[in-house]
Structure 1
Amino acid sequence: MTARWPALAAAFLLSAGSASAQAPDPVAVTVTDKGCEPAALTVPAGKSVFKISNKSRRVLEWEILQGTMIVEERENIIPGFVQSLSATLQPGSYEMTCGLLSNPKGTLTVTAATAAAPGAPDPMALVGPLAAYKLYVMAEVEAFHGQTAAFVAAVKADRIAEAKALYPQARRHYERIEPVASLFNDLDKSMDVRADDFERKDADPGFIGFHRLEKGLWADNSTEGLGAHADRLLADATELKRRIADLTIPPAKMVGGAAGLIEEVAATKISGEEDRYSRTDLWDFHANVEGSRKIFDLLRPLVATRDPDLVARTETNFSRVETLLAKYRTGDGGFAPYDSLSDRDRNALKRPITVLAEDLSTLRGKLGLD
């Protein structure tokens, strides 16, 4: 990995170089059922704060894209609510997602900054953790590709019981590295899209990927018509593996991913909306926690020098969540169906997961990446 260190250091400088600059006034964006208002924005390079108002009828995520890459995103914006997103952007042309996948994307133009930002944190401090995390991501995407190939083969051979057993095993590798895997907007939408992202729900032809196959296997108990979807999923998994091999992971995405994985569980997955047909949600929860802990473990020495109390508190919170999840382990190494948990069980999970997410959300600031 030594050859990648200059690129990693450069990436850190790029993301942190303007982090301490004074942010301008918030930029207001309203998302309706038809798209973004305004549909075109211009901001100066450096840090911007966007205020996203959801005036549509569905929970949405708002993303800033550069090509197929997600630069920044704010997930789980409830109808009628406003959420903030801080983004440190380099000059260039970007796109904004605007609700339903069928809605037109907005445009975001970032103009050159008028003054240089104050000095950034030492870029070399994160090079070691970034290199180690890249190795972890590469191993997980390799396992993901192999498990997905086995899952697809079972679907195409009409081996329903085998496909059902392989489904959560393949997905857990994706869920561990979701902060990186979801950087590629086109692949993330193809592999992990939910029916709720379409106006026609699960009847929409754009509803493909893991969850479309999940519906066929569990809700329909049939593989009829799933062959093309299975082939597309494997092709996407192959492309993801190729892209990740060439990717220099943005430091802010790695650090922010520790919180992002847990925040998603607390905000939406805890409701059971992720694997609604198979009820394999606890597999995903556990994989998200594993991926988050891996990032935290790599960053622990850096964070400990700045805030040892945060490290101790976060360790305790991780242990609490892991102990709760262990209660639902089954003898075969899997997890109990999520619909076997009571409301009390789910609430018992939600509180420590939310507390853990809150602590992890401070990591970017602690390391000078906000």
Structure 2
Amino acid sequence: MIRPRIPRGRRGLLSAGGALAAVAAVAAVLVGTLGGDGRPAAQHGPGNADGLPRTRVRMSAGECGQGWTQGHSGSQVFDVYNASNGPAEVDLLDPGSGAVYGEVEGLAPGTSRPLQVTLGGGSYAFKCLPDDSDAFTGPTVRISGHAAAGPAAVPVNQHDLIPPTLAYQQWIGDRMGELADRVGALRDAVDGGDLDSARTAWLPAHLVYERMGAAYGTFGDADKAINGTTAGLAQGTSDPRFTGFHRIEYGLWHGQSADRLRGPADQLAKDVDQLRAGWPQARMDPAQLGLRAHEILENTVQFELTGRTDYGSGSNLATARANLDGTRAVLGYLRPLLTGSRFPQLPRLDGALDRAQHTLDGFDTGGHWTPLGSLSRPQREKANADIGAAVEQLASVAAVCDVRRTS
């Protein structure tokens, strides 16, 4: 399950290669402010460190893309200058389809930022979206020829995301019964004093919960009660606020008696029952679904592949595998929005997930998972590389599914 962390912009997760999704193509280069007076200038050719031709364009009140009148194909940079008195977003798009080739977010007044894109034959225009004002689109610039353009994506809106979110929420609800049954078996083993059976029951119960990764934000405080760690707890594993799966894990693998574990096991069962009872009234935020698809494995890298959530069971790799299942589940509901021109890198993402799954499955021997600390260095490096590659691809899903303002 995803652990809380400092929020960051969805689009800020992206890097600039064409291997990533459409609007991701330029996000990572939006980091600098030009020196000098920042005034828009006419188009000029190569001569910069990157060797790319550059065009300075301007936005102001009622004007967008001023300074760009003649287009040419190929990789190039637009230095976008905000001459208005407020911040704005500026997109370069196909005015017919609305497909976005690049974007500058949060462009402050009086500043410029570079926007790198690859343009082919077609029609293009800048669209300016000032804060607290209506959007407006500048003049269309046509590029002749048949050169291929870089990636572009038609923005996803809130209504697009509602059906997959409702379907995913139903999928989570369908898992609640299994979760309650597995936790009940764990509680019964602890109540009966059979700690060997409890250790056997612990992992299957925990993995059911870990597969629900995209719903963590909707679980609210229940997530910390059910799957919290000792992070931020002054007394560590002795802190009374340390509850749930990891509290029981610590006790089972550190010699605590059944008497000490009955209370935590009973509380876990109650917390799961309460979560299950309240789930039909819960409402997931559709705008968050694409971000969650990325964050599940991002947090796997941060917490599971570092062993930070191991309280004795040595099951981090099993949890990573369950997180991968959870990623595939949410991705399955988003797939209709991603198939085709909106996200042509989908087959590449599927390949990355397959490689990560194959690697993780190699650490499972008949239900007995290799502890993270027992991996050889090459095994550890391969696991990190394969899951990291999948995380990089999933960042593009977060970007494509980011609900963008269009008016």
TM-score clears 0.5:
yes
AA matched with 2:235: R
Of residues 214, 219, 226, the one that matches 1:191 is: 226
Q: Is the 8 A contact 1:174 1:181 kept in 2?
A: no
How far has the Cα of 1:271 moved from its partner?
Answer: 1.1
How far has the Cα of 1:320 moved from its partner?
Answer: 0.5
Of residues 270, 275, 283, the one that matches 2:310 is: 275
Q: Is the 8 A contact 2:190 2:198 kept in 1?
A: yes
Q: Which residue number corresponds to residue 336 of structure 1?
A: 370
Q: Which residue number corresponds to residue 268 of structure 2?
A: 233
Answering whether residue 240 of structure 2 is matched by residue 205 of structure 1, we say yes
Structure 1's 303 and 121: CA in aligned 2 closer, same or farther, altered over 3 A? closer
Structure 1's 215 and 361: CA in aligned 2 closer, same or farther, altered over 3 A? same
Answering whether residue 266 of structure 2 is matched by residue 261 of structure 1, we say no
Answering whether residue 193 of structure 2 is matched by residue 169 of structure 1, we say no
How far has the Cα of 1:337 moved from its partner?
Answer: 3.2
What CA distance in whole angstroms lies between the structure 1 residues aligned with 2:287 and 2:365? 36
How far has the Cα of 1:172 moved from its partner?
Answer: 0.9
Q: Is the 8 A contact 2:287 2:402 kept in 1?
A: no
Query: C-alpha deviations, 1:127-165, integer Å up to 9, x for none?
Result: 332232122211222211111111111112111111111
Structure 1's 269 and 301: CA in aligned 2 closer, same or farther, altered over 3 A? same
Structure 1's 250 and 340: CA in aligned 2 closer, same or farther, altered over 3 A? same
Structure 1's 155 and 330: CA in aligned 2 closer, same or farther, altered over 3 A? same
Q: Which residue number corresponds to residue 365 of structure 1?
A: 399
Which one has a larger percent helix, Structure 1 or Structure 2?
1
Of residues 324, 329, 332, the one that matches 2:359 is: 324
How far has the Cα of 1:360 moved from its partner?
Answer: 0.8
What CA distance in whole angstroms lies between the structure 1 residues aligned with 2:191 and 2:134? 56
Q: CA RMSD in A?
A: 2.8
Structure 1's 214 and 129: CA in aligned 2 closer, same or farther, altered over 3 A? same
Q: Is the 8 A contact 1:255 1:364 kept in 2?
A: yes
How far has the Cα of 1:121 moved from its partner?
Answer: 4.2
Gaps of 5+ in 2: 1-87, 89-104, 106-130, 137-154
Structure 1's 308 and 183: CA in aligned 2 closer, same or farther, altered over 3 A? closer
Q: Is the 8 A contact 2:182 2:204 kept in 1?
A: yes
Gaps of 5+ in 1: 1-46, 48-85, 87-112
Of residues 377, 380, 385, the one that matches 1:346 is: 380
- Percentage identity across paired residues of the two chains: 25
Structure 1's 163 and 182: CA in aligned 2 closer, same or farther, altered over 3 A? farther
TM-score by length of 1: 0.65
AA matched with 2:375: L
User: If you compute each CA radius of gyration, which structure gives the higher value, 1 or 2?
Assistant: 2
Answering whether residue 180 of structure 2 is matched by residue 133 of structure 1, we say no
Query: C-alpha deviations, 1:10-44, integer Å up to 9, x for none?
Result: xxxxxxxxxxxxxxxxxxxxxxxxxxxxxxxxxxx
TM-score by length of 2: 0.59
What CA distance in whole angstroms lies between the structure 2 residues aligned with 1:182 and 1:153? 29
